[in-house]
Structure 1
Amino acid sequence: MKEVFFSIVIPAHNEELYIDKTINSLREMEYLKDRLEVIIVENGSTDNTLEVIKKLAPPWFKIISIKEAGVSKAKNTGIENLSSESEWVIFLDADTYLGQSFLKDLSEFLRKNEDKNLGCGMVSLLPYPDYKLARCWYHFYNFANRVTKTTRSIQIIRRDLLKDLRFDENLTFDEDTMMIRACRKRAKYFFFKTKKVFSSTRRFEKNGWVKQLLQWIYYASLPYEKKKKIKYKVLR
């Protein structure tokens, strides 16, 4: 079967210390380059993020720089610049990286399930750095994402659903949940088990594992109008 054409969109705001690992993992990806595009949207950074991206990104990456900060704005900019060949879009946090054969595995899974109207999904994550406490917490979060049909660090969305759907630019938190919820009204959610996607533990290490969980639960419980007032802290 012909491999899926993936578009990977990476929002990057003040990510000079983390995005190198993400870029390098995509450079080394074992996947046909004519079936893959990478769009990095640097948005409103005040550090050397753009310079790091330009230094590390190969010529076939698409680099876009905008003045406005905000993860939703960056993701929507990526959507507006997708290739016409794109079949599935992966929105990837700048501190999350992929194993070399991950896209091959995901492509095979999506092709085998084309008749099931899959439209959006999430994968199991492993922590980096990797240590026992982090693995325990990530096991919990993977279970929670699967049960609640939500995402974290990565969202995978079928391209045709993005013809008229966009991330809510009024939100700095839960924009991914709102998007997945909109997609689920049109297609099915999937959870793909893998050991080839790694997400930074930096937010948990900075805030504390329990404190971070409680903060997310509280924010998620707020009505939309109050969510719009949240200024989700950027950790660097």
Structure 2
Amino acid sequence: MNRPLVSVIVPAFNVEKYIETAIQDLRTQTYDNLECIVVDDGSTDHTLEICKEIAKLDSRIKIISKENGGVSSARNVGLQAATGDWVGFMDPDDRMDPEMFEFLVNASEQRGCDVVACRFVIEYYNEFEITFPHNPNFDVITIEGRNECVSSVQQLINVFLWNKIFRKDLIKEMLFDSELTVLEDAIFVYRAVDRAKCIRVIDVPCYHYRYLFSGLTRKTKTKEYLKSLETIERFIHYCEAEKLECTTDLKKWYLFLSARSLEGLFSIKRAADLELYEQAKINICKYPDEKKCLPFLKRFYVLIAERSFIVYRMCIRFKGRGKRMWLTINKLHTGIPFWK
């Protein structure tokens, strides 16, 4: 029996430090019926040259070079080039376990399944690595029905692209919004699961999301966040009109993201920054009933952001220092050398 082809799309921009490792993780997958589509988005370092050299070693690797247009544009080019039955995504600075696609494809072999997801691990690169042991007897969770599928995003499968595969027929007419630079993946995931009839989740972490404290790609941009929040709010109105049960979870997520949108503002002395702050405050003041239902820490950040920008900035700084302190304590406790 022929196994389905999986197309894995890797958008790449100035990631010469990481891209070789990412592609190697794909090359060494135990499920070998893959095509790896690396879309170089106008890199100015050696990313493209590294990709071309690796592609000479493996015919499954396809390299596409384009002018810089952003991650959504790069993913759209990859989608148009994908020939697989299933489509997955990988960020070029992340890692994945060698069995990931074998597990996902095996779980997909149920009639009508449209999306398959796995758990993931967050790694604080050069700080501390959170790992989970493999469980050979992991459970596979099946979700069916439109309400249940859309609700599963916040409750179970998460908003990220990279821990999932999507049936190509499900997303063949979908594209990423090139106007968005943050949360574009979450919006794509919601649109996809709204079309899905069945989702399966394997209860084992296979994908390793590497959080780079100093990486420019992780920098929060308030203006871009606010633009994406407009799209999320339109989706909330759509779900309300369709009478989907996920609207409460979506509104709570919207409130938390509205508070997070302020993290990119270091002061509100300039008129432009003050205008962004006022817009973010309007967002934070929405949905009072859902605000009461937020978990304590998230509710705390939302309420502080609503009342005092200065206090909120102090809390954000403390949170960052506290995270680093926690990582240091874990290193001392586990005996991990500080230079790793």
Tell me, yes or no, whether TM beats 0.5.
Answer: yes
* DSSP-derived class of the 2:10 partner: strand
Asked if structure 2 preserves the Cα contact closer than 8 Å seen for 1:3 and 1:108, the reply is: no
> Where does structure 1 lack aligned partners over 5 or more consecutive residues?
137-143
| Aligned-pair CA distance for 1:173 | 0.8
Per-residue CA deviations over 1:195-228 (Å, capped at 9, x if unaligned) read 33212121xx238xxx989x8xx7598323999x
Q: Which amino acid aligns with 1:196?
A: C
Q: After TM superposition, where is structure 1 displaced by more than 2 Å over at least 4 residues in a row?
A: 1-4, 55-59, 117-123, 127-136, 148-153, 188-196, 218-222, 224-227
* Equivalent position to 2:43, from 40, 45, 48: 45
- Structural mapping, 1:1-236, within 5 Å: 2-32=2-32, 35-57=33-55, 58-60=57-59, 61-83=61-83, 86-111=84-109, 114-115=110-111, 117-128=112-123, 135=130, 147=155, 149-152=157-160, 154=162, 155-187=164-196, 188-202=198-212, 205-206=213-214, 222-224=229-231
Q: 1:194, CA displacement in angstroms? A: 2.3
In terms of mean alpha carbon deviation, does 122-131 or 157-166 score higher? 122-131
Contact 1:9 1:89 (8 Å CA) reproduced: yes
Cα distance per residue 1:79-132 (max 9 Å; x no partner): 11112xx11100111112222222211111111xx23x4323542112345799
Answer whether contact 1:122 1:151 (CA < 8 A) is retained. no
CA RMSD of aligned residues (A): 3.4
Return closer, same or farther for 1:38/1:14 CA change in 2, 3 Å cut-off: same
1:206 aligned counterpart, secondary structure: coil
In structure 1, what residue type is equivalent to 2:231? Y
Q: Residues 220 and 131 (structure 1 numbering): CA distance in 2 closer, same or farther, change over 3 Å?
A: farther
- Paired with 2:227 and 2:180, the residues of 1 have a C-alpha distance of 12
- Identity between Structure 1 and Structure 2 (%): 28
Note closer, same or farther for the CA distance 1:130–1:18 as it changes in structure 2 (3 Å cut).
closer
The alignment's TM-score, normalised by the length of structure 2, stands at: 0.53
Q: In 1, distance between residues paired with 2:12 and 2:203?
A: 26
Give the letter for the 1:193 counterpart: D
Task: Please give the alpha-carbon distance, in whole angstroms, between the structure 1 residues aligned to 2:67 and 2:127.
Answer: 40
1:141 corresponds to: none
Q: Using a 3 Å threshold, how does the CA distance of structure 1 residues 68 and 106 change in structure 2: closer, same or farther?
A: same
- Say which one has the larger Rg: 2
User: 3-state DSSP class of the match of 1:124?
Assistant: strand
Evaluate the alpha carbon distance shift between residue 4 and residue 179 of structure 1 in structure 2; reply closer, same or farther with a 3 A threshold.
same
How many pairs were matched up? 207
* Higher-helix-fraction structure: 2
Pair 1:102–1:224, CA change in 2 (3 A): closer
Cα drift, residue 168 of structure 1: 0.8
Distance 2:63 2:228 in 1: 36
Q: Which has the higher contact order (CA 8 A, sep 6+)?
A: 1
Query: Structure 2, unaligned stretches of length 5 or more?
Result: 132-151, 234-256, 265-340
Structure-2 change in CA distance of 1:186 and 1:153 (3 Å): closer
Q: Distance in 2 between matches of 1:82 and 1:129?
A: 31
Verify the 8 A CA contact 1:45 1:69 in the aligned structure 2.
no
Distance 1:52 1:93 in 2: 16
Shift of 1:12: 0.4
